[in-house]
Amino acid sequence: MTSTALTATTARAPRWLAFLLIAVAVALIVATPFLPNYYIRVVNSLLIYILLGIGLNIVVGYAGLLDLGFVAFYAVGAYTYALLASNQIGVHLPLLAILPIAALIGATTGILLGLPVLRLRGDYLAIVTLGFGEIIRIVINNMDRLTNGPKGIPALDRVDVLGISVARPAGIFWLLVVTCILAGLAAWRLQTSILGKAWAAIREDQDAAAGVGVNTTNAKLAAFAISATIGSIAGVIFAASQRFVSPESFTLQESILIVLLIVIGGIGNILGIIAGAAILILLPEILREFAEWRILFLGLLMVVLIIIRPGGIVPRSLGPDVLFRSLFRR
């Protein structure tokens, strides 16, 4: 094969890959609502973690800031829904009214986290954000009068959107599909925007970015705020689907899991987040019959993937923009 033919074949490959990914995604979306409820719930869990991964990826992947306390925003969103859609404080708001409230509270919480860590980097930033996540969980666990403490808040209102009930797993599935698509498109557009370029500059070299005029303070706060907003929205949908929340759902292990799915899938790549979530969420379900060995197998798999694919399953170079352009290339 000549070099010209080889180049042409390589140029056509992304287009076929793009068509294949779109076809698989559409087929899965169409087929999932017809599965038994157990499998739909598993897919819903996968979509929630994809949404969480998209949120955390803004801070970790785009801005290069290691955040180990992301589960705090997840908890903020979940408890916002639990308090505003239950008998806990006697308020029963619909989902569409709670979502902007949770988003605003999440963004405010993200800024409050970002302000004291603006000068921190690397391990120090990771330790402080880890502590922040634990502080939120402990506060929720100890505020018995408001959050019902470790007992959690049960009997949350059934979900309806514009008068249409979406309380069943299939309804939650469509709600999550729409939310993930909107969040993914928003994150992709942010990545290619001027703000996204500022995040990339901070990720590569913060001092150099500041030297060429990037307002690193505003860019970092924007990353924390937007990331926290998406995390809070994921928490709202999680609480709405479970109709019960408790502090046990927002432990450090959850934060580590979200970070892992980004690292394994591909940092800074939405397609990598989907791949990482599929491995870390679906694989344990597939290996449920081997309960004693599945964690060991999953750990070995992660070690192997990190060794042979240090850039993740889907590297940053094969992002959605590359596949999107390949669809319309002549």
Distance, CA of 295 to CA of 284 (rounded, Å): 8
List the pLDDT tens digit at each of the 330 positions of the chain. 443 443 343 344 456 666 677 777 788 888 888 888 888 999 999 999 999 999 999 999 898 888 888 999 999 999 999 999 988 888 888 899 999 999 999 999 999 888 888 888 778 888 888 888 899 999 999 988 888 888 989 988 888 887 777 778 888 999 999 999 999 999 988 988 999 899 999 888 888 888 888 888 899 999 999 999 999 999 999 999 998 999 988 988 888 889 888 888 888 888 888 888 888 888 878 777 776 777 777 778 778 877 887 777 877 766 666 666 666 565
Q: How many other CB atoms are there within 10 angstroms of residue 317's CB atom? A: 10
Burial class (CB within 10 angstroms; exposed 0-12, middle 13-18, buried 19+) of 10: exposed
Q: What is the pTM of this model?
A: 0.88
pLDDT value for 264: 85
pLDDT value for 13: 46
pLDDT value for 317: 67
CA distances from 22 to 17, 27, 54, 72 (A): 9, 9, 19, 33
Token pair, residue 119, equals 């000068």
